[in-house]
Amino acid sequence: MWAMFASPVFKRNLGDPALVGLLLIGAAFGSGFLGKADFNGLSWHLLALIAGGNALGLAVNRSGLLTMAAEIMTTKVITSHNTWLVVVELGLVLLMITSFISHTVASIVIMPLIATIGAHLHDPKAVVFCSVLSISGAMALPMSSFPNVNSLLAEDDYGATYLTPKDFVRAGVPSSIAVGLCIVTLGYPLCVLLMG
């Protein structure tokens, strides 16, 4: 259904493909397959986080802000024409940004900008692929990704959480640094070799 809703004909007439999620909820609860207890048991704060990320991505995309940011980035900020150096710069920036915001939100908002930068450098595949790995590699804080938030909220039978934010920082910062180093030393050359 997501693929069908993403086609231009349906998207123009029905709206964003995110409506598929609402249709699923309407069908599940409207048919009686799921009941009131199931509805109250949903993690509404996580659903609001995901929906807010989608709304933010749509707003930034339709406002023209991405186009303006891409022009500024490609003409003024990124002065190097060496693709590897741009991948290193973007990797560092993306690891820092996505440590503080959700990977989903970062992907929705930032990836069109990254694709434009990659096209400007005439090597979009390597730039986009390494940027996707950088976004996914950030894990320093509990809000970095949905699995991090989900594991932070996990509780035992007495309502005590298993993990604290300090646990994420202690393990996540070195892991994020290691992932970033792997991307720029191994990921980029392999990407160029396999996709070039």
Q: What phi-psi label fits residue 122: left (phi over 0), alpha (psi between -120 and 50 degrees) or beta?
A: left
- Give the largest CA-CA distance in the chain: 59
pLDDT in tens, 130-169: 999 999 888 888 877 777 877 887 888 888 888 888 888 8
- Average pLDDT rounded to a whole number, residues 85-102: 85
- Torsion, Cα 107 113 56 174, to 10 degrees, reads 40
Side-chain half-sphere CA neighbours of 101 within 13 A = 16
Query: Which of 136 and 76 is assigned the larger pLDDT?
Result: 136
pLDDT at 158: 87
**DSSP 8-state secondary structure symbol assigned to residue 161:** B
Alpha helices in 7-102 (DSSP H): 8-14, 19-30, 36-40, 44-63, 65-72, 83-100
Amino acid at the residue 190: L
Closest among 27, 20, 21 to 46, alpha carbons compared: 21
Cβ-Cβ contacts under 8 Å for 116 (sequence gap 6 or more): 66, 67, 70, 73, 74
pLDDT in tens, 171-187: 888 999 999 999 999 98
Indicate whether 42 pLDDT > 90. no
